[in-house]
Structure formats: C-alpha cells, structure tokens
Amino acid sequence: MCAQQSRACVFLDRDDTLIPNNTLPPPADPHPAWKPGDLSDPDRVELLPGALEACRLLKQAGFALVIVTNQGCVARGSATVEDVEAVNARVSRLLVDSKGSSLIDAFYYCPYHPDGNVPEYSREHELRKPQPGMLLKAKDDLGLDLSRSWLIGDMPRDCESGVNAGLSSNRCLLIGEQGKFADVLAAARHVSKHAD
C-alpha cells in the first residue's frame, strides 16, 4: 500500500465569493450594530451564479474544499457564533454533489475584530484574514498539502492570507471587480486547467 498522499485544497472565501453578501438589503429588524455584509439568517443565504458548478468542478479535480471566512459581525454583536454556524450549515446544504452530499470538507470562521463591541471577541487575532491562521489550522486538521493548494476570494486580504500561509501568489486568485477573474467559476476553471 502507498503512503497516503496529503490532499491539495482550494480555500474559498464565503461572502461575495460563493454567496451574495454586501449587496443584501438590511434584514427586517436589524441589530443596532448591523452593517452591510453582516449575515445572521440562514434563510437569506443563496448561491451566486456559478458557485455550485465551480465547487463541483474543483471536487471532480480532486481538491478538498475549505471555506475560510472573516465574521467580524460576531465581535460587533450583530450575529452570534450560532448564527454564523447556521449560515455555514445552509451553505453546506446548498453546495452538494449530484447525490446530495456536501462538497465542502470544512468551514473555518474568524469571529474576532479589533473594533468590536463584544469584549470576548474584540481584538486582533491570528485567525483573521489577511493573517493565515484559518488556513494553517485547516492544514493541520485535514492534512493538506499547501504547496499544491489554491485560494479564491473577492478581496485582496483573502489572497494575502493565502500568501501568508505559504501558498504561491499565482495560486491565490482574486475575483470580481478587483480581480483577474470574473467570478468563482472562472477562477475554478483556471484551477482545474492548471492543477498538478
């Protein structure tokens, strides 16, 4: 028997990479600390166009899929960790293969923010992108090979977290208005073409 080879991974940002976020209208009864981008209700989760196809393509190419998401809304108090986990669970239930199994291997989120209102979470933290803590934790937990891994996100700090974790900068793909790729599907096609 061969020794088990560690898996290559595609790290995926969640908000505005896989699901609409900053463009969502305020909830009906927003928390006083709510601000655009805060998402606490799993019923408001939907996938962006191409997100499901992108994840299926990457999974078929053999990658582990790990979502890494900053959730400073917990530190600000407009969402709880339970809310974030409920939203993540909904994302997991929407991103499934043809048999209904989730395509997502693991979720990591950072509830910390230096300018929060909830003392427990109001500080800078190694998990918070652009720091690499979530990626490094996933590497240890799941036995990932970072030298063959990629990252897709819509903010420069997403890509910075990948580089800070040791990923090659040309494997950290920026999508959307600021990026080279229109959306997550365009980025996933690039990954599947260039995977080794």
CB of 189 vs Mg ion, minimal distance in Å: 20
Applying CB under 5 A, which of residues 8, 16, 24, 128 lies at the interface with Mg ion? Answer: 16
CB of 176 vs Mg ion, minimal distance in Å: 9
What is d(CA 13, CA 154) in angstroms, rounded to the nearest whole number? Answer: 7
Residue 10 host element (H or E): strand 9-12
What is d(CA 101, CA 35) in angstroms, rounded to the nearest whole number? Answer: 33
Stretch that binds Mg ion, among 1-9, 13-21, 56-64, 178-186 (CB under 5 A): 13-21
Residue 13 touches Mg ion, criterion: CB under 5 A: yes
Question: Whose Cβ is closer to Mg ion: residue 105's or residue 154's?
Answer: 154
User: What's the sign of the alpha-carbon dihedral 143, 147, 148, 154?
Assistant: positive
Residue 38 touches Mg ion, criterion: CB under 5 A: no
Q: Cite the active site residues.
A: 13, 15
Question: Whose Cβ is closer to Mg ion: residue 16's or residue 83's?
Answer: 16
Q: Which residues inside 136-195 make contact with Mg ion, applying CB under 5 A? A: 154
Applying CB under 5 A, which of residues 8, 10, 15, 113 lies at the interface with Mg ion? Answer: 15
What is d(CA 32, CA 179) in angstroms, rounded to the nearest whole number? Answer: 33
Place of tokens 């609409």: 20
CB under 8 Å to 43, separation ≥6 — which residues? 90
Residues that bind Mg ion (CB under 5 A): 13, 15-16, 154
